[in-house]
Homo-oligomer: A and B are copies of this chain.
Amino acid sequence: MSDCPLCPSEIAPTQCLWEDEQLRVLLCPEPGYPAFCRVIWRQHIAEMTDLNVDERMHLMTVVWLLEAALRALLAPDKINLASLGNQVPHLHWHVIPRFNDDRHFPDTVWAQPRRHGVEHPLNIDSLRKLLESGMA
């Protein structure tokens, strides 16, 4: 889809933490959330149940590897996982480490902010290494 912002040709390679033929893991910082990540399926489809079972399992295995790496590096108070896609119906997962002093906690990052919030930065090279070792 030439007008879809999540179709692969539109993604800056500097964001890419890991990729294979089916998906990409991207660092997509949002205000207050320097470690906000997304896992984006390459094919332009909308829902998990548009994938076959092997594809679903592969995508979730990468989401869980990313969750484990973020927990190991940042020890967040919670991990948030979400596949929404109302704005951009191209299958992608938000993987968000949350902290009890961040902008919205305990609300979702899509609610009104509660405070200025503390940012919890990420060592990108360490995250890349954990993902590469987990995928090996």
Report Cα–Cα, A63/B51, bound state, in Å.
Answer: 14
CA distance A56 to B68 in the complex (A): 13
Within the complex, the shortest CB–CB distance from A53 to chain B, in Å, comes to: 8
Among A14-22, A36-44, A106-114, the stretch that binds chain B is: A106-114
Chain A 47-65, CB-CB to B under 8 Å as 1, else 0, gives 1110000001100100110
List 6 A-B pairs, minimum CB-CB distance, nearest first: A86-B106, A82-B82, A108-B110, A81-B83, A87-B106, A80-B84
CB of A71 closer than 8 Å to a CB of B: yes
Residues of B within 8 A of A81 (CB): 48, 82-84
Residues in A lying within 8 Å of B, measured CB to CB: 46-49, 56-57, 60, 63-64, 67-68, 71, 77-87, 89, 98, 105-108, 110-112
Report the nearest B residue to A71, measured CB to CB.
B49
Q: Let me know if B67 and A86 touch, CB within 8 A.
A: no
A82: B residues at CB distance < 8 A: 80-84, 108
Complex contacts, A98 vs chain B, CB 8 Å:
86
**What residues of B have a CB within 8 angstroms of the CB of A86 in the complex?**
77-78, 80, 98, 105-108
